[in-house]
Amino acid sequence: MHTNTANERVRIFCPATIANVSCGFDVLGVALAGVGDHMLISRSTKKGIRITKITGQDLPLDPHENVAGVAALALLDHLNSNAGFEIEIYKKIKAGSGIGSSAASSAGAVWGINYLLGSPLSPQQLIPFAMEGERLASGVAHADNVAPALLGGFTLVRSSNPLDVVCLPSPSELYATVIHPQIEIKTADSRRILKTNISLTDGIKQWGNLGALVAGLFKEDYPLIGRSLEDVIVEPVRSILIPGFDLIKKAALDAGALGCGISGSGPSVFAFSKGAEKAKEVATAIQAAYTPLDIPFELHLSKINPQGVCLEKA
């Protein structure tokens, strides 16, 4: 434990994340380097949590109704702390985008407060408190976004109860291209349409892909990563909610992407590529394919973020 007595405030970057990563529904996630929110967390003489400013999104300031507030309060309760904090949130990740908007706020809040309290907990130990923010957002306290947001890189949630999160390596040349169609799909809604039972045949295919994807990350075997980015369970159902999904996927693969899938619960769609140049070609191809649909969209191109939530560079 170290003491940050000199620090009364901290500015942090809270990364966007891709959850599920095709075959890893509810267990696999990865942090992005080029996209994320910013937060300013300050000590206060008043006990508890106050959210004093939010820009970029219309979200509640009430800490009991905001994911950052709920996560922060859960942490203070666990630490039995009488400390007080004020939080400013500068949202760059749109709510309902499928790239971890609620996770960025939840993870950032607990990371920043923990830092100002002298880091009594490790980033791994912060995950359960960030998960409380996710419970508010989607009705399920899942870790597949908050784990990579706090730990960086790829993470695998081996078990939720008890929580057991494994950090995986991130191949150095792996890039993500993400398209975010400007429609909102609520996580709770997209969970509701999923089947609760799957066939043994689909299960065998899925865990074969997940095991091979993890192996591909360890071996930096890009073709194996590409072959493993196949989701036979969730994508066929959720892709129906995303206009132009098949167009995006075909354009990305035709342009040489390793693989392509739904980011989180959608509507964002990600493609992985080997190298920045290929990721740019994939972005150009996706843009050309999607523009005729007349649906506004954003495109992000990002390396994998190896560290997760971090101090803002001055």
By CB atoms closer than 10 A (0-12, 13-18, 19+), residue 269 is buried
0.85 exceeded by pTM:
yes
**pLDDT value at position 190?**
66
Question: Which residues, at least 6 apart from 38, have a Cβ–Cβ distance to it below 8 Å?
Answer: 11, 12, 13, 14, 90, 92, 312
For residue 5, pLDDT beyond 50 = no
b/e sequence 217-243, b meaning 16+ C-beta within 10 Å: beeeebebbbebbbbbbbbeebbebbe
**pLDDT value at position 253?**
98
Q: Which two tokens stand for residue 36?
A: 């994320």
| Nearest by Cα to 19 from 134, 111, 161 | 134
Dihedral of the alpha carbons of 11, 266, 296, 103, in degrees to the nearest 10: -10
b/e sequence 111-135, b meaning 16+ C-beta within 10 Å: bbbbbbbeeebebeebbbbbbbbbb
Least confident of 61-75, 175-189, 241-255: 175-189
For residue 3, pLDDT beyond 50 = no
Domains observed in the chain: 9-168 (3.30.230.10), 174-303 (3.30.70.890)
Q: Which residues are catalytic?
A: 134, 187
Number of C-alpha atoms within 13 angstroms, CB side, residue 286?
33
By CB atoms closer than 10 A (0-12, 13-18, 19+), residue 58 is exposed
Coil, helix or strand at residue 170: coil
Alpha-carbon gap, residue 33 to 210, rounded angstroms: 23
Alpha-carbon gap, residue 86 to 44, rounded angstroms: 6
For residue 161, pLDDT beyond 70 = yes
Tens-place pLDDT, residues 20-48? 999 999 999 999 998 999 999 999 999 99
**pLDDT value at position 4?**
45
Tens-place pLDDT, residues 171-182? 999 999 999 999
**pLDDT value at position 187?**
63
Instruction: Determine the distance from the C-alpha atom of residue 277 to the mean position of all C-alpha atoms in its chain, rounded to a whole number.
Output: 24
Alpha-carbon gap, residue 150 to 152, rounded angstroms: 6
**pLDDT value at position 313?**
75
- For every residue of 116-131, DSSP letters joined together read HTT--S-HHHHHHHHH
Coil, helix or strand at residue 134: helix
Alpha-carbon gap, residue 138 to 265, rounded angstroms: 11
